[in-house]
Structure 1
Amino acid sequence: MTTIGGMLAAVTSAATLLLSPAAAWAEPAVWTVRDEDSTIVLFGSVHLLPDGLDWRPAALDAALDAADDLWFETPTEGGEGRMATRALGMLPVGESLHEKLSAEGRARLERVSDAVSLSPAALDALRPWLADVTLSVAMLIRDGARAEAGVEAVLASAAPGAGRRYFETPWEQVAFLAEAPEADQLASLEETLRQLDEDPELFARLVRAWLAGDQAAIDALGVAPLRTLSPGLYERLLAGRNRRWTERIVERLAGSGTTVIVVGAGHLTGPDGVPALLRARGVAVEGP
């Protein structure tokens, strides 16, 4: 996906997913790193999913059963993300999102807002990044996806004996979006509006690629376009964060025990994905 909202969700699921037999047989990818006294398993998350989707690979469940610690991108409980969004997501008084969009962007905003039953006037006070996220998520929810069915929510109660660790705070994660240059935010929002208006099945294709463990398709559909749309956003939302996470993973590998790491699927694919970065450091990584 080429949007800020989509990158935050890191290959977010499509609520328009059509569950074919092929999808039911498929299995999302799992990566494993081992040394003499530690095992680290990486799994790519989809943050919103339809109910009833069987996506859990046996290798993931086995790792969770043995896990000493379970890592996520950021905590989702406690309401800090909502507070950060309110604090960082509103335009200054007197500014209007509508006035910042192109003429075509304004027309698409009207159509997309109507499709997801949101008022354009209610969006007008939002900074472009938050309008981007709001519209993307609203479209998924309209078509049946739920955060409660997403990977993080399902795995939140997994491995109850494992310690919980996080790569980022909610405020840090929201700031990656909010502190992006406004021109980049607007470019992303304009592209999101185009996608939602003209290609609403893109998300469904991304989810099918995730279910099949098709990393090339995930990268081509959901990551590579961002590299072209905005190298700056790509660095801010994906590549830079991946490098920092890789450092933490290498530090954890120096310890002992079993670790399961669950992050957005877009962070694990492509030349700047975490598995590729680990391999570039000479770490043996089992998986695609």
Structure 2
Amino acid sequence: MNGPSIVTLTMNPALDVTADADEVVHTRKIRCRAERYDAGGGGVNVARFAHALGMPVQAVFTAGGATGSRVMDLVDAEGVHAVPVTIAGQTRESFTVNERVSARQYRFVLPGPALTPEEQQRCLDALRRAAVSARFVVASGSLPPGVPPDFYQRVADLCRETAALLILDTSGAGLRQVTGGVHLLKPSLRELRECVGRAVETECEQEAAARELIDRGVTGAVVVSLGAQGALLVTPDEAERFPAVPVATVSEVGAGDAMVAGITVALARDATWKQAVCYGIAAATAKLQTPGTAAFGRREVDAHFQDYVCAGRRCT
């Protein structure tokens, strides 16, 4: 296998703009400062974070207009192997405001440009070329306007044809239309509820819902991200809850993508499922301590992982 072990797909990337404001008040001009710009969108973030963890990765993503060019430049600047697919529309922006008076974070997300069927096919073609030499494909993020809800099932079928293992992190109709071919599904609690169409309040309900997706053949394993409550791993043979690590949070943006990156990198290094989830939590913890969607350092993630194991978490 000559290419990178991990390839990511982002159909709806974004230029992430983050800034501070004293207070967010309606109808007033909100004076912002300390702005920063990061390449964003689920798969782009996963690629950036996997690269920060020392793993070779290719990032396939759409790029259009001046915003798309800026995202491409930012990805290149971080040393990630970018595979941009040019589109006619303008790559979207996402805007996050950190309100200093309350320590709250406000996130404004645009829908993104509509993609034509021809642009969608070029994305699949680019993914196929990259996936033939990859061990894992991570498809992450929302589907933009114009893309049918069964698109990620087409990605799953492509991965089966190329023998790449698909890790999927998405929401809405794009998630509900997936019927099989996923190696690992990483829904949030809300997304898990949408998948099964019922409440999943208790841990038993969450485990039952995740196991239902496995039994239906949708996925081989499920990791449910639970925010401050950590994560739940469910495989055909086991289920285990993993607590989060309490830290002072700088920015929550991209923490879920960091978890996916950590899990995928660990699996690419032949870790067990439990070890991979522990490493994913360590990566998410490191991400919470960086501004905007800035990447972290591998040293910080490895330190969190060791602390997590030493604190009594069994990751074998």
TM over 0.5: no
Report the structure, 1 or 2, having the larger helix content.
Answer: 1
Larger RCO (CA under 8 A, 6+ residues apart): 1
After TM superposition, the score normalised by the length of structure 2 is: 0.24
Report the structure, 1 or 2, having the larger strand content.
Answer: 2
After TM superposition, the score normalised by the length of structure 1 is: 0.26
